[in-house]
Amino acid sequence: MVNLVLVLADQLTHTLSALEHADKADDVIVMAEVADEASYVRHHPKKIAFLFSAMRHFAHELREAGWTVRYTALDDAENTGSIVGELLRAASDTGASRVLSTECGEWRLISALEDAPLEVTVLPDTRFIASHKRFEDWAEGRKQLRMEYFYREMRRETGLLMEGDKPVGGKWNFDHDNRKPAPDEVTFDGPLRFEPDEITADVLALVKSRFDNHFGDLEPFWFAVTRDQALQQLHHFIALGLPKFGDFQDAMMSDEPFLYHGLISFYLNAGLLTPLEICRAAEQSFTDGDAPINAVEGFIRQILGWREYVRGIYFLEGPSYTSRNYLEHSRALPEFYWGGETRMRCVSKAVEQTGRDAYAHHIQRLMVTGNFALLAGIDPHQVHEWYLAVYADAYEWVEAPNVIGMSQFADGGIIASKPYVSSGSYINKMSDYCKGCHYKVTAKTGETACPFNVLYWDFLIRHEERFRGNPRMGQMYRVWERMDEERRDTVLSDAAEVLAKLDRGEVI
């Protein structure tokens, strides 16, 4: 009996559970470029092109390996426009009634497959290190689900950076060593840039014709689109970028968008790389003496700790997670997130880079665009949909906890122990963005004051009842209390004017 084997755009892994449970001799793999997946949010053209090209290359590899692949291109005249529609069309053409599927990474698709008039067998996604049950067992009975403790258990279970029962270097976490500000120069050339082949060129033409009205630049396009290319990028980063990754992972520079970052999340989240092979490669670099412990531990923590943790949170919290709005924020997302004019140089640079590369590193996302959205009271669901749309590594299972939880505190503290807000001083310390900005980061009030400065205090006062008792925030409320009354009134008045300008659509 023929089975249909569904392979999605973020499941481009030859060891995918659906493939391992399929019969190469009889079963038919279904892969499809569909309008529903390309446009349920207005995805960055580079993201769409990357996934379509990677899918086409993966389909070619599967055929070379002896699989029967039914592949539907976006411009196929019979394309139904949805994953379920393509499964139903394939079932009609082949006589199959059963579908093998590796679990999807978004509740939206999980629900669509559950409602499909087909027999769908959903298999666990074994590409992750922690199963759902493993995470649920860890979370059960805990008052606080802090990533650090989960990460330590993952270290013990995998043996990564362990000496018996003890962490290598005597500490679990070397984050204290990873907070250096922007360096004078960057000695890493950044990611490898791959020349588009004929398959990618065809995809670029298709995406240009269909999605030229989406935010972001399609070209130049240089992403890896095969596992071989992704492995090249991994080894390139491990050899040349990882040694200084730790020191400068939080730094930001106007003319150095990549610094010492790996840019492998595109490939990891699409399935071209797997988490353990990445972590082992980093660990080997430390063992060989090529990269220091602070860099290697910090890098492994992002994958083994944070990535596994946020996936656990996403599935633990359920489909309603993206609608959480603990702080009751409702302001519309400003136009400058889509490339409109702003005088805030840090925001402008982060959005400019996002539009050009479909990429920004974690501090740009958290402490610039995310920080501003939180301070200004932007609707967290709109913020969530923006991040999901504009970044090439964004899928809801990883993006939503990072935005709804970590960035916007909309989940009420499930992930973060306090809101990640700061004034302009943090951005000034960690970047060169403030140089040449219209605003003065040292000005606390007045027309030239950095909007982050006045909005920071406004946020704390708006939510004083919620956060005054937070042990990590009490000191800032005591600072506020020591200000004279006239200055406090001026700060709040200036903040109100900034927010009023936002509401009027004026440039800030």
Domain ranges across the chain: 3-123, 132-190+241-317, 335-504
Residue 508 and residue 468 in contact, taking contact as beta carbons nearer than 8 Å: no
Asked if the peptide bond before residue 220 counts as cis, ω within 30 degrees of 0, the response is yes
Q: What angle do CA 493, 495, 500 make, to 5 degrees?
A: 95
CATH class of the structural domain 132-190+241-317? mainly alpha
Position 392, amino acid:
A
CATH 3.40.50.2000 fits 335-504, yes or no: no
pLDDT tens digits, one per residue of 191-247: 999 999 999 999 999 999 999 999 999 999 999 999 999 999 999 999 999 999 999
pLDDT at residue 432 greater than cutoff 90? yes
- Across 240-261, average pLDDT: 96
The CA angle 298-418-380, to the nearest 5 degrees, is 95
Asked whether this chain's domains 132-190+241-317 and 335-504 adopt the same fold, the reply is: no
User: What b/e sequence results for 434-449 when a residue is b if at least 16 CB atoms lie within 10 Å of its CB, and e otherwise?
Assistant: beebebebeebbeeeb
Mean pLDDT to the nearest integer, 446-474: 96
Residue for token pair 């932007």: 378
Q: Tens digit of pLDDT for each residue in 54-93?
A: 999 999 999 999 999 999 999 999 999 999 999 999 999 9
Of 3.40.50.620, 3.40.50.300, 3.20.20.370, 3.40.50.2300, the CATH number of 3-123 is 3.40.50.620
